[in-house]
Amino acid sequence: MTFLVDAVALEAELASDRPPVLLDTRWSLSGPPGREVFAAGHLPGAVFVDLDADLASPPGRGGRHPLPDPSRFAAAMRRAGVTLDRPVVVMDGREGSQAARMWWLLRHHGHDDVRLLDGGLAAWADSGGDVATGEVLPPYGDDGPPDGVRFTADLARLPVLDAAGAAAMARDGVLLDARAEARYLGRTEPIDPVAGHIPGAVCFPTLDLVVPDGRFLPADVLRVLFAGVDVRPGTPVGVYCGSGVTASHEVLALAEAGIEAALYAGSWSDWITDPARPVATTER
């Protein structure tokens, strides 16, 4: 089973009698705003989903991007046209590190047919796909489309870690840190007020899981890479990053390799809200 779709296959699906819902969630900490980037170019028919407003709760003790309230998330998805009986394809500009958060949330809350456009808008454009411009308003109200099985986000079915669970995973399983090595080692910290990593965590940058054009490495290659840090099917494994967004990208890569992983949704930005929690700055 794959959770990815390439641009050529997606183009064929969009021409079918059951095209997927297209959701675009481009975001950058340093800007420009994702909505502006979306308006400058996106897949025809795609709807923009705001990461801060729709895929996270306000920053606070739970970190910079806590999981959103399920009812608010469900309403945002319904406004965009999501129903439980229609496939969904999520995307961002290239490697999927933002779109994977929406992939994870939709699956967590009960949608069985969600895939990520491998390589994002860049791959679509490189394949010769049409690119539209301009703002696209969500096509429906809070109740969603008048037909189809209503998406409600009543379920919570994927494994999630809190800070205590992350510490236990680092001790008893494998806890992967999806950030760049320099942040893991505390040599630099451009975002959060404390540098370092959770003691016992293994540095495994999520961008090492994609090729230069942003597409994921093949599943067999991913399995070999994860085996190199003792992660195989059946291994208890969790993933965190800075705020729980790019960690979802690594969870997706693990799923492609046939490995279920728990997401520490609050991630490092939650861990450091309690000064009593230990901080490491050396290798595991």
Say if residue 39's pLDDT is above 90: yes
Residue finishing a domain among 76, 105, 126: 126
What is the C-alpha separation between 176 and 240, in angstroms, rounded? 6
Residue finishing a domain among 109, 126, 143: 126
Structure tokens at 71: 């009812």
* Residues 167 and 109 both lie in one domain: no
Indicate which residue of 241, 245, 262, 263 is catalytic.
241
| H or E element that contains 238 | strand 237-240
Strand blocks (E) in 111-182: 114-117, 160-161, 174-177
Residue finishing a domain among 68, 103, 126: 126
Q: pLDDT class for 33, splitting at 50, 70, 90?
A: confident
Task: Give residue 181's domain range.
Answer: 160-271
* Residues 17 and 100 both lie in one domain: yes
Is residue 87 one of the residues assigned to a domain? yes
Query: Is 203 among the catalytic positions?
Result: no
Say if residue 31's pLDDT is above 80: no
Average pLDDT over residues 176-197: 97
Note whether 173 and 239 are within 8 A (CB): no
Is residue 151 one of the residues assigned to a domain? no
What is the C-alpha separation between 159 and 261, in angstroms, rounded? 7
* Residues 113 and 174 both lie in one domain: no
Is residue 132 one of the residues assigned to a domain? no
What's the total number of domains in the chain? 2
- Tens of pLDDT along 114-148? 999 999 999 999 999 999 999 999 999 999 999 99
- Tens of pLDDT along 153-162? 999 999 999 9
Domain of residue 167, CATH code:
3.40.250.10
Is residue 169 one of the residues assigned to a domain? yes
At 191 the pLDDT is 94
Is residue 148 one of the residues assigned to a domain? no
* Residues 22 and 88 both lie in one domain: yes
Average pLDDT over residues 185-210: 97
Residue 228 buriedness (CB in 10 A; 0-12 / 13-18 / 19+): exposed
* Residues 115 and 8 both lie in one domain: yes
Is residue 152 one of the residues assigned to a domain? no
Average pLDDT over residues 92-98: 94
Is residue 201 one of the residues assigned to a domain? yes
Question: Could you tell me the pTM of the whole model?
Answer: 0.97
